[in-house]
Amino acid sequence: MPIESAVPPDLPSRRKLALTTTIAVFAAAMILITLVLPAEYNVDPLGTGRALGLTRIAAPEARPDEPVPPSAGQPLAPVQSGPIGAYLADYKTDSTQFVLGPYEFVEYKYHLEQGATMLYSWKSTAAVIHDFHGEKDSARGEAISFEKKERRHGTGTFTAPFTGIHGWYWENPGGDTITVSVRSAGFYSGALEFRSDRTRRPHELTPLVHESRIGEAAK
């Protein structure tokens, strides 16, 4: 039986190879110019990168470092940058007095986020039983004392070790009526008064007023 000889396949001509290679090189060059360069290197000679939104990948829009002012009720927690704690809102001030009859007591506390600070000064017309303490939001009723002694005044700064209410317990240990006065400034969001007769009421805090606002109010 005769053996048939194998027929070699038709090979592409040199012209066809050159044409195919040219098309492939052109396609690769277009992908490089229209897609790769705008996305990777922010180079956009034809403007296709901007049209397709690719230049934002290589050069994203710069965002300001300053945070947006908080909405009402947003926690006043500091953002630490070394020794500086930046807040999203102005601090508030407070000034109030409490009249305590014989053996009466009052608790006065501010709500502070963890790391938030305040400056305070208080004094009494006579020595009082005093306890400076705080309660975590997650464990109300479980007081943690920071300072506990009988005294007539106190001045200092306070940085909240946890989020919750922080403040004073003052008790009149004698038979005469006394007055306790307190002033403070800080990044607190609220103040609460608790009395020995089991009453409880919030106090209105004073927002910081800048000089420019004072000038506008005077016009």
With a cut of 70, say whether residue 5 has pLDDT above it: no
What does the pLDDT read at residue 50? 67
Q: What is the largest CA-CA distance in the chain?
A: 135
Model confidence pLDDT, tens digit, residues 87-131 = 988 999 999 999 999 999 999 999 999 999 999 999 999 999 999
Q: Options 3.40.980.10, 3.40.47.10, 1.10.4160.10, 2.60.120.380; which CATH number does 89-206 get?
A: 2.60.120.380
Q: Cβ distance 78 to 86 under 8 Å?
A: yes
CATH 2.60.120.380 occupies which residues in the chain? 89-206
Q: Of 219 and 46, which is predicted with more confidence?
A: 46
Q: Could you tell me the pTM of the whole model?
A: 0.62
With a cut of 50, say whether residue 63 has pLDDT above it: no
pLDDT range class, residue 196, cuts 50, 70, 90: confident
Model confidence pLDDT, tens digit, residues 133-166 = 999 998 877 899 999 999 999 999 999 999 999 9
CA 160 to chain centre: 15
